[in-house]
Structure 1
Amino acid sequence: MDKGNKCWWEFPRWSDVYEKGTDEYIEKAFATRSQGNEISCPCCTCHHRFWYGRNDVRDHIICNGFVPRNDESFHLGRMGPEREAENLQHDEPSNMNVGIQELLHAALREGPNEEAKKFLNLIEEGQEELYPGCKKMSRLAFTIRLYIYKCDHKLPDVAIAGLLEFFKEVLPNDAILPTSIHEAKKVLKLLGLDYKKIDACPNDCMLYWAEHANATSCHVCGTSRWKSKEDDQNDNSNEKTRRIPSKILRYFPIKKRLQRLYMCAETASYMTWHKYGRENDGLMRHPADGQAWINFDKMYPSFSNEPRNVRLALATDGFNPFQTMSIVHSTWPVILINYNLPPWLATKSEFLMLSLLIPGPLSPGNSIDVYLQPLMKDLDDLWKFGLETYDASTNTRFDMHVAVMSTISDFPGYAMLSGWSTKGKFACPCCHYEVDSVYLKYSHKHCYMSHRKWLDSDHPWRYNKRNFNGHIEERSEPVRLTGCEIEQLLHDFPNEFGKEQPKMRQDADDPNPWRKCSIFFKLPYWKQCDLRHNLDVMHIEKNIFDNVIGTLLDIPGKRKDHVSARRDLKYLREEKDFRWVPELESKELEDGSEEFPTSMFWMNDDEKQLFCQTIKMQICLKVMPRILLDVCKLMKGKSRDIRAMMHIL
């Protein structure tokens, strides 16, 4: 047999190839089909009959040899899209042995796998009537509705047990009810709707996870893991004391939920819409029409050749879960958006995947990387090893790989996810080190100039002096930093997380806009993504709307045409040689006071009244009467309403 065609387990057990293949197999097996941190041992003695942990399985394979299962003899050695792309460059197209193996492999992988069989059996059993003659609700629907009721009303397990006893008395004797809430939880776990609780340091320094799972205090700041005393035993009795974690991260595993997308034939057909259902007419209707998607396909052809591989976007933002602004609290959900789906389904609530729920009461800031660790671990496994998945639309199994293409957030969230500081002198991540900023003496903030350099070289605004800073813009746009350049720049960056760490300041002599090396660079393909971070347009539109309306209506606290701004106009002309609307500059009078000329957009009370009434009428006619505009007062509305008002203006 040709050495290039030999599988790793056919080499001598003392060789480096055999040992490396063993380690790669164990990594893939534990990432895809482990149960309780154990897998069926594939050594020549156990023959997949007994289950062991990672170290025991490795010892058995090294000592006893390896016996692959029939359905994995072809794809055991594959190490994800990157390794496949390398192998494709060296494989001979006419290799008859590989072709026969591929046909055999495809034949053996038809029909549902074990995971799909469990799910389909559960669905089939769940369709049973709750009791004979019940047409309104099945057994599975009752179990799910019961658990939702428990969560919505925050009922303890004892209350649910009492309800089940009451239902047994009311319903017929042959009604099939769960015996306890624990049985209901088992059903939800099989559906992939469970979550894991991971303790965290209250200072956002670390997670009590992986190698630190059994630690009792933070290895960074030394803070205790528990709110209560650390003693396991009560001094007055032999009972164990209940220790309450100081902070808990809730992680919703994504592997089973991604598999579920293909177990329904209708949903599985939508998962390949970007390949077979999209109209290629040159218009931008879907991320697949963008240049970033096309470049990614060229970089990783083995990933793109399988249209069922999943592409995701990660979105996050903070919110107050207590429905009252009197309590300052910020909880951060991390949501995954499925880019395989058509645009009218991708953002539907039933297809948005909640993966993490980062607790408050404060924003995690740059320490969000600490909480993203479990998700990044699963995403890395799904890229390197894949996950055997049953496709109900074709009745076949395939290895599903997953890639995160980009993130979506507001501008502060951009800083948290990317590591680039969006405050201070270098706030613009697109201009990066070539940003033009001026510190305003009276407004006490940075002002970012020279946006005209992003325009085309022959754009008339480049030569418009009066309406800009009084100068012609002849510079070209900055060259953006690529992912490879950023990774090389931050290769040895000392990531230090937690509230106890000293904040990094930008030095005037040696400014450093980076705050960390983002955890996303641990994904092997992240540096090749052209569009790594996206800004939420709804946030930007609302901020622009608030500033424009606040300035037009002269709303205190929201207007941008204030005393400090007028003084800064004069300061910019004298110190920076920027000549912006000199007629609006503050003027000194003989008595030492200042005079501020009125602007061309200034309105008196009657004009403000007319403006508000006109906007209100347009909203009632074209949108909906959800935003009420009173005289000179703008009530806060939802982002979609603000968007509609921007179009009206």
Structure 2
Amino acid sequence: MDNGTKEWWMAAKWSKEYERGINEYIKRAFSTKSEGNQICCPCGSCHYRYWCDEKVVRYHLVCNGFVPRADKLSELGMHFEREIPTLDADERLNQDDLDDDLVGLLHDARDAFREGPNDEAKKFFQLLEGGQEELYPGCKTHSKLSFMIRLLIIKCDHKLTNGAYADIADLVREAFPDAKLPKSFNEAKSALKVLGLNYTKIDACPNDCMLYWEENANATSCHVCDTPRWKSNDTENDTPLENGKIHRIPKKILRHFPIKRRLQRIFMCQETASYMTWHTSGRENDHLLQHPVDEKAWKEFDSLYPKFAEDPRNVRLGLATYGFSPFNSMSIAHSTWPVILINYNLPPWMIMKPEFLMLALLIPGPSSPGNDIDIYL
């Protein structure tokens, strides 16, 4: 299609224009970018990550919509200083690209640590040095940092246990004695805490009455129902720690995942930061409901808070929660409630991507908090 015409992927998916666009794209892509009988599927779900044949690509484009590459988005007014590293048929992302991208992301983030030589800043710059350090002498495909992150990604994608992660790391060290790897999963997590990949434990009343937090941090029982904070008040079961403190097991623990650092990382990265203003700068106003910005509630919010609405970078979050049982056995009555934050600043094809959904709270069971969930929120 000519660049001067309206882009076909912005048309309604049931329109003739969209159908013609799919036909032209598939014809061009399979004639120039295919490997065998497959191309990287450009739909909103695959997003150039999976190779599919023509029938599957066509089905995906009809159901999931089309996501243009970064160079095409830049023609629409969204400019990037460096290319988004998405997979395409004619340029697979090799390991050198991954290493460069990890270092680039860390360089983007380092401005947040320029306030002074505090401990957090020192840890961050040590992590940055790890991005330049070879995994072992002579290794050209991985840095110490990139290998550690790849191993963590594999663990998460395949749902490996902490023990499996440690066994894999031990095997790599046996094969490559000079490899600089963390000895355990917990050690790897600690190394990445400086990026905000951590959480805080907050004791809670088992009846969902209160949190042992701030002014109630040292309380030993609930102020509402008088339920003890600890599983056992018997001092014989106390476990002394090396620092002289006594460890007791609380009856219920809320896990809080801070979102401030995660939102900062979105703006620190040049690629994702530009998407955060898409609802103002990248959207075509065709009077169709394609994004929450087109909804009446969004416009009403803007009228109530005009100062907030002036800056398109201000983040608008939606909140969702639903209970589930973390156990395979359905005979166990247990309900854990994750609280998820949804970033409505992003384009519609990115809003529901798992990598952009932010876990804010994890409310443990065994029962649903019900109306008392506001205690945690």
| TM bracket (short chain) | 0.5 to 0.7
Structural RMSD (CA): 3.3
What pairs up with 1:314-333 in 2 under 5 angstroms?
314-333=319-338
Select which of 218, 221, 228 maps to 1:217. Answer: 221
1:203-238 per-residue CA deviation (whole Å, 9 max, x = no partner) reads 111111111111111111111111133427869xx9
Q: 1:177 aligns with which of 177, 181, 185?
A: 181
- Take 2:169 and 2:182, find their aligned partners in 1: how far apart are those partners? 8
Q: Is the 8 A contact 1:202 1:246 kept in 2?
A: yes
C-alpha distance in 1, partners of 2:150/2:335? 29
- Equivalent AA in structure 1 for residue 111 of structure 2: N
Partner of 1:308: 313
Aligned to 1:530: none
Would the aligned equivalents of 1:231 and 1:241 in 2 still touch at CA under 8 Å?
A: no
Match of residue 265, structure 1, among 247, 265, 270:
270
AA aligned opposite 2:298:
W
Taking the aligned partners of 1:367 and 1:227, their CA distance within structure 2 comes to 21
Question: Aligned with 2:135: secondary structure?
Answer: coil
| 1:223-302 matches, cutoff 5 A | 223-231=227-235, 242-302=247-307
Evaluate the alpha carbon distance shift between residue 247 and residue 148 of structure 1 in structure 2; reply closer, same or farther with a 3 A threshold: farther
Unaligned 5+ runs, structure 1: 1-110, 373-649
For normalisation by structure 1, the TM-score amounts to: 0.36
Structure 1 position 369, deviation (Å): 1.0
- Residue of 340, 351, 375 corresponding to 1:370: 375
Q: Give the structure-2-normalised TM-score.
A: 0.60
One-letter amino acid of the structure 1 residue matched with residue 252 of structure 2:
K
CA contact (8 A) 2:238 2:247 kept: no
1:197 aligned counterpart, secondary structure: strand
Residues 189/248 of structure 1: CA separation in 2 closer, same or farther (3 Å cut) = same
Distance 2:216 2:268 in 1: 36
Partner residue of 1:457?
none
SS of structure 1 residue aligned to 2:235: coil
Conserved 8 A contact 1:225-1:246: yes
Deviations 1:615-644 (CA, angstroms, capped at 9, x unpaired)? xxxxxxxxxxxxxxxxxxxxxxxxxxxxxx
Determine which structure has more spread, i.e. the larger CA radius of gyration: 1
Instruction: Kindly provide the CA deviation profile for residues 154-194 of structure 1, in whole angstroms up to 9, marking residues without a partner as x.
Output: 447xx977775664443142x22236655423322111110
Counterpart Cα distance in 1 of 2:150 and 2:234: 38
| Matched residue SS, 1:122 | helix
SS of the equivalent of 2:316 reads strand
Q: Give 2:53's aligned residue.
A: none
User: Pairwise mapping of residues 192-203 of structure 1 onto structure 2 (< 5 A)?
Assistant: 192-203=196-207
Per-residue deviation, 1:290: 1.5
Call closer, same or farther: CA 1:277–1:254 in 2, change over 3 Å: same
The residue aligned with 1:336 is: 341
Query: How far apart are 1:145 and its partner, in Å?
Result: 5.0
Q: 2:191 maps to what in 1?
A: 187
SS of the aligned residue for 2:359 comes to: strand
Contact 2:324–2:337 (CA<8 Å) still a contact in 1?
A: yes
Shift of 1:366: 0.7
Identical amino acids, percent of aligned pairs:
63
Listed as ranges, the gaps of 5+ residues in structure 2 are 1-108, 116-120
1:486-508 per-position Cα deviation (integer Å, ceiling 9, x unaligned): xxxxxxxxxxxxxxxxxxxxxxx
Tell me the distance in 2 between the aligned counterparts of 1:258 and 1:332: 22
Amino acid aligned to 1:218: C
Cα distance in 1 for residues equivalent to 2:232 and 2:148:
35
> Could you give the per-residue CA deviations for residues 364-417 of structure 1, whole angstroms, max 9, x where no partner exists?
001101111xxxxxxxxxxxxxxxxxxxxxxxxxxxxxxxxxxxxxxxxxxxxx
Query: Are residues 135 and 366 of structure 1, via their aligned partners in 2, closer, same or farther at CA, if it must alter by over 3 Å?
Result: farther
Please tell me whether the aligned partners of residues 336 and 364 of structure 2 are also in contact (alpha carbons under 8 angstroms).
yes
Distance in 2 (alpha carbons) for counterparts of 1:230 and 1:126: 49
What is the CA-CA distance between 1:303 and the residue it aligns to?
A: 1.4
Change over 3 Å in CA distance of 1:337–1:121 after alignment to 2: farther
Distance 1:178 1:255 in 2: 27
Q: Secondary structure at the match of 1:198?
A: strand
CA distance in structure 1 between the aligned counterparts of 2:338 and 2:293, rounded to whole angstroms:
26
> What is the identity, as a one-letter code, of the residue corresponding to 2:176?
L
Instruction: State how 1:320-469 maps to structure 2 within 5 Å.
Output: 320-372=325-377
Q: Kindly state the Cα deviation for residue 307 of structure 1 after the two structures are TM-superposed.
A: 1.1
Question: By how many angstroms is 1:250 displaced?
Answer: 0.7
Q: Which amino acid aligns with 1:366?
A: N
CA shift for structure 1 position 134: 3.7
Q: Look up the match of 1:610.
A: none
Tell me the equivalent position of 2:212. Answer: 208
